[in-house]
């Protein structure tokens, strides 16, 4: 099970913390040095894909020279995103690596990225109040 704690800080900002002590500052789009909640959602999609693609391509003998991505989405309503687009930026060591990378990236997107699959399938979000 995955858990994070999100809380207001003494300075009036917000912070998400995991059990391993990592922290992410959260705020509005007009604040410097923070992620908005939507940006964190997009980072989760990208992070889930990239941390799965990288070891799988390397395991097949094709460590990519550069592996990065941009993840974006537009709001289609005030409180709803349209499609999320993942755009890879890679530098491949060979043509053979291109074939491996494309196969792995497709498979990760379709089957193995928990975040993307949860968004696509509409995971229920439950509210528990004290």
pLDDT > 90? residue 2: no
pLDDT (0 to 100) of residue 87: 97
CA gap 69, 80 in Å, rounded: 23
Q: How far apart are CA 88 and CA 37, in angstroms?
A: 22
Report the CATH fold assignment for 36-121.
Answer: GMP Synthetase; Chain A, domain 3 (3.30.300)
CA-nearest of 16, 22, 69 to 42 is 69
Q: 43-95: per-residue pLDDT in tens?
A: 999 999 999 999 999 999 999 999 999 999 999 999 999 999 999 999 999 98
Which of 97, 85, 90 lies closest to 65 in space, CA to CA?
A: 90
Is the pTM of the predicted complex or chain greater than 0.75? yes
* Cβ partners under 8 Å of residue 64, min gap 6: 54, 57, 58, 90, 91, 92, 93, 97, 101
* 1: pLDDT strictly greater than 80: no
> For residue 84, what are its two tokens?
């999320």
């Amino acid at each position: 099970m995955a858990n994070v704690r999100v809380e207001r800080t003494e300075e009036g900002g917000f912070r998400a913390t995991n059990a391993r002590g990592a922290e992410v500052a959260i705020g509005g789009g007009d604040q410097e040095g923070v992620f908005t909640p939507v940006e964190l959602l997009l980072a989760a999609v990208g992070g889930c894909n990239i941390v799965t693609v990288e070891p799988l391509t390397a395991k097949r003998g094709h460590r990519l020279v550069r592996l990065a991505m941009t993840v974006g989405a537009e709001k289609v309503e005030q409180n709803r995103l349209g499609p999320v687009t993942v755009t890879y930026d890679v530098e491949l060591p060979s043509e053979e690596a291109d074939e491996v990378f494309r196969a792995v990236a497709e498979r990760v997107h379709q089957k193995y990225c928990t975040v993307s699959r949860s968004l696509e399938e509409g995971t229920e979000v439950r509210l528990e109040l004290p």
